[in-house]
Structure 1
Amino acid sequence: MKCIVGLGNPGFKYRKTRHNIGFMVVDHIASENGWKINKSGFESHYTIEFLNGEKVMLVKPQTYMNLSGNAVKKIADYYDLDPQDIVVIYDDLDLPTGKIRLRQKGGHGGHNGIRNIIDQLKTKDFNRIRFGIGRPDSDLPVVDYVLNKFPKSEKKTVEEAIEKSNHACEDWVEKPFLEVMNTYNT
């Protein structure tokens, strides 16, 4: 089984904020395939479906961002998933808005959700899609910036990157992540 985890914070007030881009990508994948994320368990909302003959689990941890690893660990343990069968989608301040970057492993880069996943899985070797949200132009604190919604001026760029992330995830179901990475990181 392939596990696609979108990071975010639960609750209406965080909906469509920069920090919830992982949730937005997972919701888009579900919508594009006619699926509903309607199951609860593993401290997550999730669904398990089939895509091109492969079992796929879409996951939105409900632990709040900084404890995302708790949910990912429970799923990995229950389904005996290898970390390479997991891809985590999350916001990245160090990439321009709408730029995506796929990686097979690495550090947390200051992202507390990724830090917690590394701590819980006891490895840095899991697939990631870093979704650029840029940095604030003003003196706005980072915590406020990530919890704000994307402005209308970035809507098209964000939608295109969500679609690109969706295609990368769907390609990964059929191809090695390295091959997908080489395609989408150009």
Structure 2
Amino acid sequence: MESYEEKFIHTNEDLEKLRSDGVLMFQQVPMVEVDGMKLVQIRAIMNYFSSKHNLYGKDMKERALIDMYSEGLADLNEMFILYPFDPPGVKEANIALMKEKATNRYFPAFEKVFKSHGQDYLVGNKLSKADIHLVEMIYNMEELDANIIANFPLLQALKTRISGMPNIKKFLQPGSQRQPPVDEKSVQKTRKIFKF
């Protein structure tokens, strides 16, 4: 595993300094400095690291499937990322909607993919970024409902398989999380810095 340094933006001044230095192509984060590049846009960053570490399929067909699965998960993940910023009443409705979409649309679709080919991973029977995205989404949804994948045994097996990988297992250990849970103070601070 490559070593890296992670820096968080804590103030509006930190963000403005990056913007004025010209390192943020579209004036927004995240930004990753790697291999002599300053990459922005989360999908560009993920695709670069997926390609670099052989998590992006062996050919165009596999990459298309990986992209399709990842983009489908991105739709649900966007809802998850934004719901802490929803006002009361709207937040509860969006949580219910996310749970409904996860259990009636997304998770059944992925369970069907696994049933259709009987392999351990979504594409080419090899770990890809789509598998990692799916397990990340499972963890996210389990924050809302601990039993959300109870009716999806193949998704449970994928989660167990990926969660048991040494680097993932280490990351998941208590105390290893890099960011604190979202609280109302953090939400207000984020709204102020990013002006929404």
Q: Tell me the TM-score normalized by structure 1.
A: 0.30
User: Max radius of gyration: which structure?
Assistant: 2
Higher RCO, Cα 8 Å, sep 6+: 1
| Structure showing the higher strand proportion among its residues | 1
Greater share of residues in helix: 2
